[in-house]
């Protein structure tokens, strides 16, 4: 079994959670947040992970290299609120070994 | 007053399938949905995306699944109250219910099944401080009656299909259409993007990009908008502001119905019959929660089936009934149709 990686997530209340994330379950950052219940159900991953709602928007806090943004994520962020230059959609970031040490903060609910 | 046996709140796949299972038990259904069309999330969010975990369908488009469900329930003649949100519930002394919508439509039902998914879809409102003050005073989140924009100046904000489509449509109705988007790129259907491009060239649509509406001004109603483009502010005079940033589901008024809510979902009495803490009110599909809950369409179908059996038993105490298989018993529609398996040919070989 592949080793877990560590990701630091600041929730919407400002609480920092250091969580272990599996790299072999085809999970993404949005699903990781849901599995640890870091945001109430119904306020994150509303569209199920199709880059269609921006409820999993997060800010990337350190310079861990992430996969390039695809057109649908970019387009969704162009219509989302509270967007910053370091915004990403958690559902579009698959958990891989390269993400070890990543630090993110969940954007406010909108 | 609309009367029915089971009032279903939410026309998503679970709510629609409940009509079929109720019909087999000769129970009539009526469905309320806040959206203008049935299908819930499947129709509103992802009609053109495939679903791979519907038993018997290796792959089915979400929109196609909705069409199939509508076809499957047609014979049970469900009633629909669309474009209205269930607002209040009153339990009468005889154990029946009156559910009233935001438009005042009253529904009298023997049982209520909430199949509301993540809630009713409401517009995502831009973060403009005083926007609420101008709602229905020039700020419109939907284009419900296009004729009100005739000869008026309109500013639309957004970068998706609805912003593009309404800009195109209103360019023939309004005296002036301005489309504002944060990017130069739009993510709508290619032909819509090209049409807007063409209308821009013809001077029928003013395009302001990359820009954002920052503030609304006006005494009694919307008179002008402050729009920021690349750090510079400009004032655009207008009669209407239509922000189209998509819809987001909210549990809404159902949260105040006295139901036990846990994790933004309605708690039900485990997997027995999905009844809530209010007898006669059920919650099925994504809207409910119980130990082991999975938010899957196929689980919603199962929950709808058990709910209908429970309603039948509740309405017909002591009346004998055994589960029947449609292959054996056929399906008798309320519209007089009957579907049944073809009889086997029995013939001797001489």
CA distances from A44 to A22, A103, A107, B179, B283 (A): 20, 18, 10, 29, 21
Asked if B263's CB is within 8 angstroms of A52's CB, the reply is no
Question: What's the ipTM?
Answer: 0.83
Q: Do B181 and A40 touch (CB under 8 A)?
A: no
- Whether the ω angle into residue B41 lies within 30 degrees of 0, i.e. cis, is no
pLDDT digits (tens, 9 = 90+) for A11-28: 999 999 999 999 999 999
Residue B196 has pLDDT above 90, yes or no: yes
Residue of A nearest to B180 (CA): A79
Predicted local distance difference test score (pLDDT) of residue A110: 82
Q: What is the CATH number of domain B2-121+248-339?
A: 3.50.50.60
Q: How far apart are CA B126 and CA A110, in angstroms?
A: 9
Write down the pLDDT at residue A2. 76
The CA-atom distances, in angstroms, between A32 and each of A7, A22, A38 are 10, 9, 9
Cα B341 to Cα B240: distance, rounded to the nearest angstrom: 58
pLDDT averaged over every residue in chain B: 95
Please check whether residue A85 touches B, CB under 8 A.
no
* Interchain proximity B187–A52, CB inside 8 Å: no
For the segment B102-142, what is each residue's pLDDT rounded down to a tens digit? 999 999 999 999 999 989 888 999 999 999 999 999 999 98
Equal fold, B2-121+248-339 vs B125-245 = yes
Q: Residue A40's domain is classified under what CATH number?
A: 3.10.20.30
- CA B20, B26, B27, B29 torsion: positive or negative? positive
- Tell whether the model's pLDDT for residue B346 goes beyond 90: no
Q: Which of B187, B248, B263 sits opposite A53 (nearest CB)?
A: B248
Q: Which domain holds residue A88?
A: 5-106
pLDDT bucket at B190, cuts 50 / 70 / 90: confident
Confidence of residue B170 (pLDDT cuts 50, 70, 90): very high
Number of compact structural domains in chain A: 1
Q: Is residue A70 less than 8 Å (CB to CB) from chain B? A: no
Portion of chain A with pLDDT greater than 70, in percent: 99
Q: Which residue of B has its CA nearest to A39?
A: B263
Q: Kindly determine whether residue A78 and residue B185, on different chains, have CB atoms separated by under 8 Å.
A: yes
Query: What pLDDT was estimated at residue B312?
Result: 97
Share of chain B above pLDDT 90, in %: 85
Question: Could you read off the pLDDT of B288-314 as tens digits, one per residue?
Answer: 999 999 999 999 999 999 999 999 999
* pTM confidence score: 0.87
CATH number assigned to the domain with residue range B125-245, chosen from the 4 options 3.30.930.10, 3.50.50.60, 3.90.1150.10, 1.10.357.10: 3.50.50.60
Residues of A in contact with B45 (CB under 8 A): 47, 50, 52-53
Q: What is the mean pLDDT of residues B210-235?
A: 96
Quote the tokens at residue A32: 């990781």
- pLDDT of amino acid B188: 80
Nearest Cα of chain B lies from the Cα of A42 at a distance, in angstroms, of 6
From its phi and psi, is residue B149 left (phi > 0), alpha (psi between -120 and 50) or beta?
Answer: alpha
CA distance B170 to B156: 10
| Amino acid A1: pLDDT | 65
The residue of chain A with its CA nearest to that of B263 is: A41
Structural domain boundaries of chain B?
Answer: 2-121+248-339, 125-245
B13, B40, B45, B164, best to mutate vs chain A, most A CBs in 10 Å: B45
Write out chain A residues lying below 8 Å of B246, CB-based.
52-53, 79
What integer pLDDT is reported at residue B238 of this predicted model? Answer: 98
Question: Nearest 5°: phi and psi at A89?
Answer: -95, 120
């Amino acid at each position: 079994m592949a080793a877990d990686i560590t990701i630091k997530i600041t929730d919407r209340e400002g609480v920092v959670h250091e969580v272990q994330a599996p790299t072999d379950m085809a999970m993404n950052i949005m699903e990781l947040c849901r599995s640890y219940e870091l945001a109430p159900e119904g306020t994150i991953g509303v569209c199920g992970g199709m880059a269609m709602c921006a409820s999993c928007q997060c800010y990337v806090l350190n310079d861990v290299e992430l996969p390039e943004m695809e057109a649908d994520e970019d387009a969704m962020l162009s219509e989302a609120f509270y967007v910053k230059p370091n915004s990403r959609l958690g559902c579009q970031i698959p958990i891989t070994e390269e993400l070890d040490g990543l630090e993110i903060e969940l954007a406010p609910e909108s | 007053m609309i009367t029915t046996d089971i009032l279903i709140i939410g026309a998503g796949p679970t709510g629609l399938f409940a009509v079929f299972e109720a019909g087999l038990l000769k129970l009539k259904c009526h469905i309320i949905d806040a959206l203008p069309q049935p299908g819930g999330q499947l129709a509103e969010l992802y009609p053109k995306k495939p679903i791979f975990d519907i038993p018997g369908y290796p792959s089915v488009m979400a929109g196609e699944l909705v069409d199939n469900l509508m076809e499957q329930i047609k014979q049970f003649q469900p009633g629909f109250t669309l474009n209205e949100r269930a607002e209040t519930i009153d339990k009468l002394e005889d154990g029946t219910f009156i559910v009233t919508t935001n438009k005042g439509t009253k529904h009298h039902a023997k049982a209520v099944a909430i199949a509301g998914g993540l809630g009713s879809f409401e517009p995502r409102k831009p973060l403009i401080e005083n926007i609420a003050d101008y709602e229905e005073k020039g700020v419109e989140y939907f284009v419900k009656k296009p004729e009100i924009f005739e000869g008026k100046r309109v500013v639309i904000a957004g970068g998706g299909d609805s912003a593009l489509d309404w800009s195109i449509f209103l360019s023939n109705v309004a005296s002036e259409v301005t489309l504002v988007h944060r990017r130069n790129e739009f993510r709508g259907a290619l032909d819509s993007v090209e049409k807007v491009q063409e209308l821009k060239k013809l001077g029928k649509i003013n395009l302001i990009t990359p820009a954002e509406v920052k503030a609304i001004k006006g005494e009694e109603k919307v008179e002008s908008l402050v729009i920021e483009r690349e750090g510079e502010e400009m004032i655009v005079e207008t009669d209407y502001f239509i922000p189209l940033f998509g819809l987001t589901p909210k549990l809404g008024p159902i949260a105040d119905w006295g139901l036990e809510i846990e994790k933004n979902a309605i708690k039900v009495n485990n997997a027995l019959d999905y009844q809530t803490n209010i007898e006669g009110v059920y919650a099925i599909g994504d809207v409910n929660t119980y130990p082991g809950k999975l938010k899957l369409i196929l689980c919603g179908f199962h929950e709808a089936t058990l709910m209908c059996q429970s309603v039948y038993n509740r309405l017909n105490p002591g009346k004998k009934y055994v589960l029947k298989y449609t292959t054996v018993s056929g399906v008798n529609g309320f519209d007089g149709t009957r579907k049944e398996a073809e009889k086997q040919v029995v013939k001797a070989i001489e």
